[in-house]
Amino acid sequence: MNWIVCRVNRTRGAISGWLLRAPRSRAILAAVRLKERLAFWRQSQHQFESTGAIQPSSRFLARAMTEPLRLERGADPVRVVEMGPGTGAVTRVIATALRSHDHLDCVEINPEFARYLRELIDRETAFDGARERIDVHVGDAREIRLAGHADFVICSVPLNNLPVEAASAILASGVELLGGHGWFTYFEYVGLPRLRKVTAPTTERDRLDGVRAAKAAFAAGRARSRIVWRNLPPARAVHVLVD
């Protein structure tokens, strides 16, 4: 059994010591996660529009976003494109879902995130079975063009933070990458757009309404979603079958 116990000094009301029993691998993983959060936080201070959050997605949201890849595929090899992987929170879960001969392309606009992601793929055991079949591209998700079509596009770009035209262009790019057929997944934070509209100026409310309308038109009649409460903030994974 693994556990952490803190001993409390009753007279001083303070923690006097720690007893830690955990595998060394777990300690290393915890250090990686801390480094990941710090890297994400530093970049979010400078590029919040493209980052869109204060910390990476939880493993629960990551698993929800990879649901079609795990459940909606046949026996043939597939190609996956992840838009905006950031520090790799979702990429890590995608890698564990890949089968032999599957391929993953990660498209990241932030060079620092791309550098961090390459280092993560090189060092972390979660990528051991797929490392040679993962490519990291530095570029805009709206402009990426790859040889051949993808079967699954997983979009970690914060669409609600973008201008309407940019959000619409990313959705259109996803359709093009899929060749008109496949699964497109994106996420959105639960309740935040509505909350932001309460105090936002008219231009910001119009932008949020425009992005919402673009997503609604894109997903109309062909989407399913799942709310993930174990994320900060809570989020919804939306899966759209493009056909």
For the chain, counts of helices (H) and of strands (E):
9, 9
This prediction has a pTM of 0.79
If you ran DSSP here, which 8-state letter would residue 141 be given? Answer: T
Q: What angle do CA 128, 68, 188 make, to 5 degrees?
A: 100
What is the architecture, at CATH level 2, of domain 51-242? 3-Layer(aba) Sandwich (3.40)
Q: What is the pLDDT of residue 28?
A: 34
**Calpha distance 56→133 (Å, rounded):** 23
The per-residue pLDDT for range 75-99, each reduced to its tens digit, is 999 999 999 999 999 999 999 999 9
Q: What is the pLDDT of residue 34?
A: 54
Q: What is the pLDDT of residue 3?
A: 32
3-state SS string for 39-63: HHHHHHHHCHHHHCCCCCCCHHHHH
Region label for 132, one of left (φ > 0), alpha (ψ between -120 and 50) or beta (otherwise): alpha
Query: What is the CB neighbour count within 10 angstroms for residue 171?
Result: 22
48, amino acid identity: F
Question: Domain residue spans in the chain?
Answer: 51-242
Q: What is the pLDDT of residue 152?
A: 98
Segment holding 240, helix H or strand E: strand 235-242
